[in-house]
Structure 1
Amino acid sequence: MKRIKKFGVIQTAKVAGLIYAIVSAIFLVPFGLFSMMFSFADFPIAGMGLGGFFFIMMPIFYGLIGFITVAIGCLIYNLISDKIGGIEVEVEDSPAPYTYGQNIQETTE
């Protein structure tokens, strides 16, 4: 078993924040575009599609919130992992990946 001793707070938070933003964008941007299309058709002046704009901007806010919460979580993990031990994971070496143009006989030997 291997143990995660510390997380790189900023790097982990950046990756998680981007994942949060992308995953929320997959759902919210199409919904926002749909909402803008119909709110503009029903209320050409009053609506102006602002509800849809909100859904398009939400992935950015969601990513920022994800960054902040993961950074806080990493800091807390780093503080308590010294006292109670870190998360244990089991790792193994993976075989070398197949590369384009590699001779098939080379991989079977």
Structure 2
Amino acid sequence: MIIKRIDVLSAAKIFGITAAAFGLLAGILVFLFGGVLGSLFGDAGGVGFVGGFMAIITMPIMYGIFGFIGGAIQAFIYNLAAGFIGGVRIETE
């Protein structure tokens, strides 16, 4: 079995969703380490907490957008390369 072409939009959606999931994980880590620990070490007014909370919202969105764009570019370049080389060979049972 040889993968000769990848649908660009389909690959972009998968990359975007996967990247958004990683962005959520990164946002939670920023919230925990930046927000909570920042408030423990003398953050006046809870700025670190609010910034950490905003990271949970903004990081998945930004990761998702850039993951979508990156996935589309990678699928497009794969399709160009597969046209010259012939695609990736996959062996199944």
Q: Which TM class, normalised by the smaller chain length?
A: 0.7 to 0.9
Distance 1:24 1:48 in 2: 18
Q: Tell me the equivalent position of 2:92.
A: 91
Q: What displacement does 1:27 show?
A: 3.7
Measured in 2, the distance between the counterparts of 1:60 and 1:86 equals 32
Q: Residue 66 of structure 1: SS of its match in structure 2?
A: helix
Q: Is the 8 A contact 2:27 2:52 kept in 1?
A: no
Question: Of Structure 1 and Structure 2, which has the larger fraction of its residues in helix?
Answer: 2
1:48: how far off?
6.2
Q: In structure 2, what residue type is equivalent to 1:74?
A: A
Tell me how far 1:36 sits from its aligned partner: 2.9
Per the alignment, residue 6 of structure 2 pairs with 7
Which structure carries more relative contact order (alpha carbon 8 Å, separation 6+)?
A: 2
Q: What residue in structure 2 maps to residue 60 of structure 1?
A: 61
Structure 1 residues 1-109: aligned runs within 5 Å = 2-39=1-38, 42-44=43-45, 47=47, 49-56=49-56, 57-92=58-93
Amino acid across the alignment from 2:10: Q
* CA deviation string 1:14-70 (max 9, x = no partner): 11111111123224324315533454562117x263431453121221121111111
One-letter amino acid of the counterpart of residue 52, structure 1: G
| Cα distance between partner residues in 1 of 2:14 and 2:85 | 26
Superposition TM-score, scaled by structure 1 size: 0.67
What is the CA RMSD across the aligned residues, in angstroms? Answer: 2.3
**Residue of structure 2 in register with 1:98 after alignment:** none
Q: How many correspondences in the alignment? A: 90
Deviation at 1:86, TM superposition (A): 0.5
- What is the CA distance between 1:12 and its match in structure 2? 1.1
Deviation at 1:13, TM superposition (A): 1.0
TM-score by length of 2: 0.76
Residue 21 of structure 2 aligns to which amino acid in structure 1? Answer: I
Unaligned runs of 5+ in 2: none
Q: Percent identity?
A: 37
